[in-house]
Structure 1
Amino acid sequence: MQALVDRKRLLESTLGENLQEAADLSFRGTAIEDLCLDFTLPGYPDYVLKEGEGSTIVNIYNLEEYITLVVDATVKSGIMRQVEAFKSGFNQVFDISSLQIFSPQELDYLLCGRQEIWEPESLVDNIKFDHGYTARSPAIVNLLEIMAEFTPEQQHAFCQFVTGAPRLPPGGLAALSPKLTIVRKHPSSAVNTSNPTGATESADDDLPSVMTCANYLKLPPYSTKEIMRKKLLYAILEGRGSFDLS
């Protein structure tokens, strides 16, 4: 809708013959007044944007004012009390004035960690392999290759699944505490015949599981890399809302 406001300004700034064209502006083929918008906050009919004009219908002539009021209510005046409460609480823990030396991007990094989760070459040096696995175990070799091939979205999903947070702290994997640990998960069903890699048919039926409080991934010894990729992606994308004791 802001594009309509900008278009209307342009037309009104040119010759008067364009005034009718400005009046005929529409949103996706529909006249603004036919959208049945009034001066209340969308989704909150009791939140009146302009005193005494809550029932006023929005049209092309007052659309700019409507957009300005909606934006103000959404990101400024409408959340001012909550922002002040947050600042007051934060200030009790840390002097908020000290943060003024940081840019918004730097604050985001300090509070939320890295946007980029890891570099492939850093994986083996910052992960602990234990309880049945070493860095040379076939399952671990496959896992590291899969993690190196993850898209950024899959990296965030993996991090959320294993640590409980979608990002790593400043410093990346090296700063994670406790250290990311990967152990062998024994199949829940009876063990079938093993192949030379130590993988079993029953392992292929299991999913990875985690202890997020300890950054602890329990990984079955899948028989192939593709099966591991499939099971891992299923777990990290579909199992994020699950909490079970194992």
Structure 2
Amino acid sequence: MARLVLWDIDHTLISTRGVGRELSAAAFERTLGQPMREQARIDGITEPVIFRETARLHGLTTDRGDFERFAAALAEEHLRRAGELRERGHALPGAASVLDALAAAGVRQVVVSGNVRAVSEIKLGVFGLDTHIDWEAGAYGEDDDLRPALVRLALKRAGVPAGEAVLIGDTPADVEGGHENGVRVIAVATGKSDEAALREAGAEVVLSDLRDTELLVKLIRGDDQP
């Protein structure tokens, strides 16, 4: 059985149903002093890249200090509006059951996310999905711009070889991040990428969602196929 599962967050475990964009817009205006009229592409992209490219769409050039201020403001906005996030967003079907089942089976679980760590913790905490996560061993948006580097960092922090890990995510970028590090990928078509796109990206397994807990645990063990 795999010793480690690397979880993506947005559209894999949860959906913010538009609240996330509103919080990003509030943090953007607080940081750069002007409203966020549009946002750069976000699916599979890390927070520092989204911030930098969004600022560029507004004719602004930013540096690391700007991003750090944005990240702090973003975490504050998530805390301030946690109740609204809980009310309007939701944990995706099957997420809680799979997290519980893997913990019961002794599988270590970490987050590999383009979100910064503070926001990752708030998002999963709001929906009660944070109990089984080893936060210290994860990798987050403030750690690197590129997802493959985040996967590599999480493997190093967890002290687990790639062959004993499985990544679960919803975008071709998740598949790329896993495969560049020799990690098997289970992709779920719960975001904007459909099953065909995820298969084309090369995911070893593609599922429609996380609802079938028993199947997922078997797939993570590597002893079954969909």
Query: What range is the shorter-chain TM-score in?
Result: under 0.3
TM-score by length of 2: 0.22
Give the structure with higher Rg (CA). 1
